[in-house]
Amino acid sequence: MLTRPGGGGPARLTDADGAADATVVTSLAVREDALAEGEVPVPEAVGALLADLDELETLSRFAAGSATGRAEAAAETARQLGRPDLEQRARLVRADLQRRRGAVAEAGRTASEVHRWATEARDRYLMARSSFVLTAVLQEVGDLAGALEHAVSSIDLLDETALPALRIDHLVRLADVLGLARDPAAPERYTAVLRLAEELGDVDRQLRILNNRAYTDTLAGRFDDALAHSDRLQELARAHGRPLAVGDLDTVARALMGADRLTEAEAALRLGLAPEVLEASSDGDAGADFLLTLAEVQRRRGEVDLAQDTLSECVRRCDLHGLTAIRVRARAEQAELHAAVGDHRAAYEEHKRYVAELVELQSAQREARARALQAVYETTEARRQSRRWRELSLRDPLTGLYNRRHVDEELPRLLAGGTDRLWVALLDLDHFKRVNDTCSHAVGDEVLRAVATLLQEIPAPGGGSFAARMGGEEFLLVLPGIDDEDAATHLERVRSAVAAHPWAGLTGGLPVTVSAGAASAAEVPDPTPAQLLGLADARLYRAKRAGRDRVVATG
C-alpha cells in the first residue's frame, strides 16, 4: 500500500505482496545444503535457482506465507554458484519486499546499486527489473516524474522472452504511476494490461488491475468509471470465489462515497468486518485504515454512535501498532464526530491536536523522503532534491513559514554566537476561536495564511530575521542584529499592519488583531532558547490581560 504525504489518506493501489507458498519455502535451503556437500551438479543447481527466482519475481499477492527467507536463500545460493547476476536478481526481490514493508530508503539504495551494476554489465534484464523496483520507490516518495521515467525504461528493457506475468506487472506499474499523476493516458494503459491478464487467465492480476484503476479513477474524480470498475472487481471475485481483502473493499466504498451512495458504501465495508477478513489485512495497518473509512461513512449517514465505536477501535489499533499517520487522520475524524453531536469546543480542541500532529507528521515524512531520494541517487541533482525535501521539512505546510523544528535548530545557533542584539517575539491572534466557530476552519486557515504573508512582507532592520509558525494561531519573529528601539518599532508596525488589513472579505465583521510579547537576549545572562521564549511568552500573556492588540516588550 502507498500512503499519500501529509496524511491525506491511503492510496489503495494493491501490489504484488511477495508472499510465497509455505510448502516450497524450504526448498532452496535444502538445495543449498546439497550444493555445499557437492551432491547437486552446478548446471542443475543453476536451473533450480532460476526457477525459484522466476517464481519469486512473479508471486501473486494472494499467495500465503513470506518470500523473504526464499530471497535471502536464493542470494546465498547464487554467491556459492558464482553467479552475481542471479544474486542481484535475488537482492531486487528482497528490496521490493522491504519497500512494501516500509523500508523505502533501504529498498531504494539496493535497487540503485543493482541498477548501476546492471548498467555496467549491460544486463538488460536486470536493468529492467531494477527500474521496476525504483519506479515503486520513487512513486512512494512522491517523485512521479522519476517514477515515470523508470516505469517506461522497465518496459522498454524487458525483452519478449520475459514471463507474461512479469510483463503484466511492469505494465501495471506504469499505469499506476500515470493514474496517480492523473494522466489522461492512464485509463487506456489499464484497459490494455487488463486484456493481457484476461488472455493469460490470471485472476489475481485482473483483480489487482481493477482495484488500482478504480482507485485512480476516484483520485481523478471519475466516479462513474470508478463505480464501473469496482463493480467488475466484485463480480470477478464472486465468479472465482475470491473474497475481497479490506483494501479492495475500501476502494469499492470510496467509489460509492464519491457517488454519494453511502448506504451501499457501508454495506460493502461491513463485509470486511468479518474477523477472517479484517485480521488478515495485508496492508500492514491491522485494518485501522479500513475502520477509519467505515467511521467516516457511518458519520456521514448520521450513525454517530456507531461511527464513534468504529473510530475508537481504529484508534486502539493505531496505538497498539504505532500507526502514526492513520492516528493523525483519526483525530480529524474525531473532530468531525464531536461537531456532529454539537460539542464544538471538543471539536475545536481535537482539531488543534490534529493540526499540531499533522505538522509533525509531514515534517517527518519529508525527512524520510529526503533520505530515500539520497539513497536512490548519488548525483548532484539528487543532492539538490534532498536539500529541497530538507527545506520543506522545516516549513509549515499551511503558511509556508518556518516551523518549530527550524526554531529549535536555529535559535540555539544564534544564541551561541554571543550577541546581545537578538530579539524574539511571540505573536498570538486575538479571539481566533471566534473566527473558526463563526466563519469555519477553512476561513481560519486563510486568516493564518494572510497573517503569515504580512509577517514576511514587513522588512525588519538588520539581517537574518525570520518568521515561524509555532502551532495553532501562535507565531514567532526572530530578529537578530537589532537594537531595542528598532525592535519596538518593527513589532508595532507588524501589529498595526495586522489590525489595518482589510479582513471583511474573509471574516465579515470580525476583526483580526495580534498580541505580542517580546524579549531580548541582553536581558538574560547566558540565555537559553527556553529562557528567552519563556520571557516572551510571559509578556505575551501580559499583553492579553491588558486588553489585547498590543505589544509588551519590557518589564
Grid cell, residue 351, equals 482539531
Clarify whether 473 is annotated catalytic.
yes
* Side chain identity, residue 399: T
* Side chain identity, residue 169: D
Mind spelling out the 3-state secondary structure of 241-280? CCCCCHHHHHHHHHHHHHCCCHHHHHHHHHHHHCHHHHCC
Could you tell me which residues are beta bridge partners of residue 426?
476, 517
Alpha-carbon distances, residue 121 vs 40, 84, 112, 118, 157 (angstroms): 28, 10, 14, 5, 14
Do 290 and 329 touch, CB atoms closer than 8 A? no
Mind spelling out the 3-state secondary structure of 479-504? EECCCHHHHHHHHHHHHHHHHHCCCH
d(C-alpha 190, C-alpha 510), whole Å: 51
- Residue tagged active-site, from 55, 113, 350, 473: 473
Grid cell, residue 172, equals 501495471
d(C-alpha 52, C-alpha 54), whole Å: 5
d(C-alpha 429, C-alpha 426), whole Å: 10
**How is the chain split among helix, strand and coil, in percent rounded to 5?**
70, 5, 25
Which stretch of DSSP H or E encloses residue 164? helix 164-180
Q: Which of 176, 113, 118, 119 is CA-nearest to residue 147?
A: 176
**Phi/psi at 327 (5° precision):** -60, -40
Antiparallel, parallel or unpaired: β 466-471 and 474-480: antiparallel
> Which residues form the catalytic set?
473
